[in-house]
Chain A
Amino acid sequence: MGKKILLVDDEEDFLKVTSSRIESWGYEVISVANGKQALDAVMSKNPDIVILDYMMPEMDGIETLKRIRKINKKLPVIMFTAYPNEKAIEGAENLSVRAFIPKLSMYSDSQEALKQALKISEGRE
Chain B
Amino acid sequence: MSINKKLIILSLALIVLPMILIGTLIFFSAKRHIEREIMAKLEVVADLKVDKIETFFYERASDVALAQNLFVIKVYYPIMKEYAKDTTSPEYITAKEMLDEYVNVFQKIYRYRNIRLVDLNKIVVYSSNPEEIGKTLPIATDSAFIDAQKGVRIGNIYSREENQYSMLVAAPLHDIDNKLVGVVVLEIDMNPIYKFIQETTGLGKTGETLIARHFVGEEEEVLFLNPLRHEPKAALNKKILFGDRAGASIQKAVQGKEGKGVAVDYRGKKTFSVWRYIKPLNWELVAKIDIKEVLRPVFTLSDLIAGILIVTILLDVIVAFWAARSILRPIKLLEKGVGIIGAGNLDYKVGTKSKDEIGQLSRAFDKMTEDLKKRTISIGKLNEEVAERRRVDEAIKKSNRIFNSILEMSPFGIYIINDKGGVDYVNSVMLEISGNTPNEFKSINFFKLPTYKELGLYDKIVDVFENGKSFKMGAVTYTSFHAKKTTIRNFTGIPLEREGAKKALIFVEDITEQKNAEMDIREAEQKEKEALDMKANFISVVSHELRTPLTSIKEGIALVSDGTAGEVSKGQKEFLDIAKRNVDRLARLINDVLDYQKLETGRMGFSIMEENINEIIGEVVEEMLPAIKSKELNIVESFASNLPPIRCDRDRVKQVLINLVNNAMKFTDKGNITIASQKVEGYIQVSVSDTGIGIKEEDLDKLFKSFMQLHVGKERKTGSTGLGLAISKKIIEEQGGKIGVESDFGKGSTFSFMLPIK
A residues near B, CB below 8 A?
Answer: 10-13, 16-17, 20, 56-58
By a CB distance below 8 angstroms, the chain B residues around A17 are 575, 578
By a CB distance below 8 angstroms, the chain B residues around A57 are 711-716
User: With A57-B711, A57-B712 as given contacts, are A12 and B575 in contact (CB-CB < 8 Å)?
Assistant: no
User: With A57-B711, A57-B712, A58-B711 as given contacts, are A10 and B575 in contact (CB-CB < 8 Å)?
Assistant: no
B353 at the interface (CB under 8 A from A): no
Chain B residues 535 to 589 lying within 8 A of chain A, measured CB to CB, are: 574-575, 578, 581-582
The reply to whether B578 and A11 form a contact with Cβ atoms under 8 Å apart is no
A-B pairs, 4 with minimum CB distance? A57-B711, A13-B578, A57-B716, A10-B716
Binary contact readout B687-727 vs A (1 if CB under 8 angstroms, 0 otherwise): 00000000000000000000000011111110000000000
Chain B residues 31 to 76 lying within 8 A of chain A, measured CB to CB, are: none
The reply to whether B717 and A10 form a contact with Cβ atoms under 8 Å apart is yes
Bound together, the chains give a CA A11 to CA B720 distance in angstroms of 13
CB < 8 Å: which of A11, A20, A56, A58 contacts B575? A20
Q: Closest CB-CB distance, A88 to chain B, in whole Å?
A: 17
The reply to whether A13 and B581 form a contact with Cβ atoms under 8 Å apart is yes
Bound together, the chains give a CA A16 to CA B579 distance in angstroms of 11
Q: How large is the interface on B (under 10, 10 to 19, 20 to 34, 35 or more residues)?
A: 10 to 19
The reply to whether B716 and A11 form a contact with Cβ atoms under 8 Å apart is yes
Residue of chain B at shortest CB distance from A56? B716
Bound together, the chains give a CA A17 to CA B581 distance in angstroms of 12
By a CB distance below 8 angstroms, the chain A residues around B712 are 57
Q: Closest CB-CB distance, B575 to chain A, in whole Å?
A: 7
B residues near A, CB below 8 A?
Answer: 574-575, 578, 581-582, 711-717
Q: Closest CB-CB distance, A107 to chain B, in whole Å?
A: 13
Bound together, the chains give a CA A58 to CA B713 distance in angstroms of 6
Q: Closest CB-CB distance, B27 to chain A, in whole Å?
A: 117
| A-B contacts, 21 listed (Cβ < 8 Å) | A10-B716, A10-B717, A11-B716, A11-B717, A12-B717, A13-B578, A13-B581, A13-B582, A16-B574, A16-B575, A16-B578, A17-B578, A20-B575, A56-B716, A57-B712, A57-B713, A57-B714, A57-B715, A57-B716, A58-B711, A58-B713
Residue of chain B at shortest CB distance from A34? B713
By a CB distance below 8 angstroms, the chain B residues around A11 are 716-717
Bound together, the chains give a CA A58 to CA B715 distance in angstroms of 11
Bound together, the chains give a CA A57 to CA B722 distance in angstroms of 14
Q: Closest CB-CB distance, B550 to chain A, in whole Å?
A: 14
By a CB distance below 8 angstroms, the chain A residues around B711 are 57-58
Bound together, the chains give a CA A17 to CA B578 distance in angstroms of 8
By a CB distance below 8 angstroms, the chain B residues around A58 are 711, 713
Q: Closest CB-CB distance, A66 to chain B, in whole Å?
A: 18
Question: Looking at B582, B712, B716, which has the most chain A CB atoms within 10 Å of its CB?
Answer: B716
Residue of chain B at shortest CB distance from A60? B711
Bound together, the chains give a CA A48 to CA B712 distance in angstroms of 30
Q: Closest CB-CB distance, B326 to chain A, in whole Å?
A: 117
Q: Closest CB-CB distance, A64 to chain B, in whole Å?
A: 14
Bound together, the chains give a CA A36 to CA B716 distance in angstroms of 16
By a CB distance below 8 angstroms, the chain B residues around A16 are 574-575, 578
Question: Looking at A11, A12, A20, A57, which has the most chain B CB atoms within 10 Å of its CB?
Answer: A57
By a CB distance below 8 angstroms, the chain B residues around A10 are 716-717
Bound together, the chains give a CA A20 to CA B578 distance in angstroms of 12
Residue of chain B at shortest CB distance from A13? B578
Bound together, the chains give a CA A61 to CA B758 distance in angstroms of 52
Residue of chain A at shortest CB distance from B581? A13
Q: Closest CB-CB distance, A19 to chain B, in whole Å?
A: 12
Bound together, the chains give a CA A17 to CA B583 distance in angstroms of 14
Residue of chain B at shortest CB distance from A10? B716
Question: Looking at B581, B711, B712, which has the most chain A CB atoms within 10 Å of its CB?
Answer: B711
Bound together, the chains give a CA A20 to CA B576 distance in angstroms of 13
Residue of chain B at shortest CB distance from A57? B711
Bound together, the chains give a CA A10 to CA B716 distance in angstroms of 8
Bound together, the chains give a CA A17 to CA B663 distance in angstroms of 27
Bound together, the chains give a CA A1 to CA B183 distance in angstroms of 181
Bound together, the chains give a CA A13 to CA B578 distance in angstroms of 6
By a CB distance below 8 angstroms, the chain A residues around B574 are 16
Q: What 13 new A-B contacts, CB under 8 Å, besides A11-B716, A16-B574, A20-B575? A: A10-B716, A10-B717, A11-B717, A13-B578, A13-B581, A16-B575, A17-B578, A56-B716, A57-B711, A57-B712, A57-B716, A58-B711, A58-B713
Q: Closest CB-CB distance, B587 to chain A, in whole Å?
A: 15
Bound together, the chains give a CA A16 to CA B713 distance in angstroms of 19
Q: Closest CB-CB distance, B334 to chain A, in whole Å?
A: 111
Bound together, the chains give a CA A11 to CA B578 distance in angstroms of 11
By a CB distance below 8 angstroms, the chain A residues around B575 are 16-17, 20
By a CB distance below 8 angstroms, the chain B residues around A56 are 716
Q: Closest CB-CB distance, A65 to chain B, in whole Å?
A: 18
Q: Closest CB-CB distance, A37 to chain B, in whole Å?
A: 12
Bound together, the chains give a CA A57 to CA B711 distance in angstroms of 5
By a CB distance below 8 angstroms, the chain A residues around B716 are 10-11, 56-57
Bound together, the chains give a CA A56 to CA B715 distance in angstroms of 11
Bound together, the chains give a CA A12 to CA B585 distance in angstroms of 14
Residue of chain A at shortest CB distance from B715? A57
Residue of chain A at shortest CB distance from B709? A57
Bound together, the chains give a CA A12 to CA B711 distance in angstroms of 16
Q: Closest CB-CB distance, B642 to chain A, in whole Å?
A: 46
Q: Closest CB-CB distance, A63 to chain B, in whole Å?
A: 12
By a CB distance below 8 angstroms, the chain A residues around B713 are 57-58
Bound together, the chains give a CA A57 to CA B713 distance in angstroms of 6
Residue of chain B at shortest CB distance from A16? B578
Q: Closest CB-CB distance, A89 to chain B, in whole Å?
A: 22
By a CB distance below 8 angstroms, the chain A residues around B714 are 57
Bound together, the chains give a CA A17 to CA B582 distance in angstroms of 11
By a CB distance below 8 angstroms, the chain A residues around B717 are 10-12
By a CB distance below 8 angstroms, the chain B residues around A12 are 717
Bound together, the chains give a CA A11 to CA B714 distance in angstroms of 9
Residue of chain A at shortest CB distance from B574? A16
Residue of chain A at shortest CB distance from B575? A17
Bound together, the chains give a CA A10 to CA B715 distance in angstroms of 10
Q: Closest CB-CB distance, A83 to chain B, in whole Å?
A: 12
Bound together, the chains give a CA A57 to CA B717 distance in angstroms of 10
Residue of chain A at shortest CB distance from B710? A57
Q: Closest CB-CB distance, A36 to chain B, in whole Å?
A: 11
Bound together, the chains give a CA A21 to CA B708 distance in angstroms of 32
Bound together, the chains give a CA A57 to CA B582 distance in angstroms of 19
By a CB distance below 8 angstroms, the chain B residues around A20 are 575
Bound together, the chains give a CA A20 to CA B715 distance in angstroms of 24
Bound together, the chains give a CA A57 to CA B710 distance in angstroms of 9
Residue of chain A at shortest CB distance from B582? A13
Q: Closest CB-CB distance, B284 to chain A, in whole Å?
A: 131
Q: Closest CB-CB distance, A111 to chain B, in whole Å?
A: 18
Q: Closest CB-CB distance, A20 to chain B, in whole Å?
A: 7
Bound together, the chains give a CA A11 to CA B451 distance in angstroms of 75
Bound together, the chains give a CA A11 to CA B581 distance in angstroms of 12
Bound together, the chains give a CA A10 to CA B711 distance in angstroms of 12
Bound together, the chains give a CA A56 to CA B716 distance in angstroms of 8
Q: Closest CB-CB distance, A42 to chain B, in whole Å?
A: 21
Q: Closest CB-CB distance, A11 to chain B, in whole Å?
A: 7
By a CB distance below 8 angstroms, the chain B residues around A13 are 578, 581-582
By a CB distance below 8 angstroms, the chain A residues around B581 are 13
Bound together, the chains give a CA A120 to CA B700 distance in angstroms of 48
Bound together, the chains give a CA A118 to CA B645 distance in angstroms of 69
Bound together, the chains give a CA A20 to CA B575 distance in angstroms of 10
Q: Closest CB-CB distance, B570 to chain A, in whole Å?
A: 14
Residue of chain B at shortest CB distance from A17? B578
Bound together, the chains give a CA A3 to CA B691 distance in angstroms of 46
Q: Closest CB-CB distance, A28 to chain B, in whole Å?
A: 18
Bound together, the chains give a CA A1 to CA B86 distance in angstroms of 202
